[in-house]
Structure 1
Amino acid sequence: LGSGLLCSSHYDKLYSVCRVPGEEMDQLVNYGISKHVVAIHNGCFYKVMLCDENNRMYGIEELTKIYAEIFSRKAKVEGSAGKVAALTATRREEWARNREKFFLQNPTNAATLREIESAAFILTLDDAEYFNEPGDPDTMSHFLKNMLTGNGKNRWADKSLNYVVGRNSRVSFTSAAFVIWGFAKHLFLPRVYMPCSWHSTELGGTASSSID
């Protein structure tokens, strides 16, 4: 800082990293380069590939089409199955026991958990709209609270990075302090966000097949 140098090694822990719960101590697992993200919408989890079979990264128009399709889906998971993410916000030793019992001991659930934990990041698509009215501070409080906790069942607390997008395109993200400190996160944000005018609004491509 100032006239000195700032190490950037912590950026390596921002993407594709998950905090695995333990009864005595958690473990930070880095999955390296991941080619997919996991989107959450109405309790449903979607694996979204970022590259095609030739490792070509999908463009903005293709990814926009994918996420627009997810947003338009009416599928909704009810009951306990739609509240799985809430387990990650419980006490760590309790989550470690439940993770072993309900996920690791079931091959199907274990495979699903692996896809979630190895994703580059989590992207939650909220049906709610978020605003910031200058004369109404409650709108900002509502926005910040929902970005952090959601409805209690649509934020995967173990992931190093959770993006949240409202239906009116208001966006934010959460990232735990165990991964990277706040100043560094704000340095990379201008490189992630871009004005819509920077790219075409025409949706094309056939990337919708990359949704699982």
Structure 2
Amino acid sequence: MFNLEYTEHSVMAVRPVSGDLFELIVDRNDLEFLPGDCVAIYTDSEKSRPYSIASGSNENELRFVIRSMDGGEVSPWLAERRPKDTLRITSPFGWFRPGQGIDDASFHFLATGTGIAPFLSYMHTFKTPPASCLYGVRHAADAIGLSMLHGFCPTRLAVSREHAAGHYNGRITGLLDTLPLDEAAHYYCCGLESMVNEVSEWLQQHGVDLMQIHREVFFHG
């Protein structure tokens, strides 16, 4: 699927988060990357999928937030890895750069599910917080790094499949009316295509220039 060079990395841990969601942690092995970068991870049968790095660019490990999909060719295999297993990981690629290269403009994060990964990477790398973060999950237990997000920037969590005390019940798009609008601000959207498209359309309808809407669509497999 990918023709990039790869390096070998030792699995440090596979940490269950909730249900089919887990964190994969591997040694960094000197891999250089920027927040927002993706890598492809290979299985023993040469199948691969891209995953966004969730760790900071100065940390000694690489972390990934992964949902194990029924019938998937890669994610269920990764969920079964054990410490000291070896994974082949490509060199980083991508163009999604949350909060970077925009001078002093304010910016906002919007994520669903595993789409929080590049924003976690940003948070672990840089000190300048976004003006706000909207984060959508199915269940409250699916939220990763929520307490740290709350300490980093104003954050609202949308929980779509259950009522969770203190959080909005519904899809993240139900919180868009709470999003501060600024003609000079940048908006970073990461997650499933339906959310990214809906948020992008809403922002444009409310006067945000398309050049200030940054999109990263996630697929599972």
TM range (shorter): under 0.3
Q: Which has the higher contact order (CA 8 A, sep 6+)?
A: 1
In proportion to residue count, which structure has more strand?
A: 2
Q: Which has the higher helix share?
A: 1
- Considering only CA atoms, is the larger Rg found in Structure 1 or Structure 2? 1
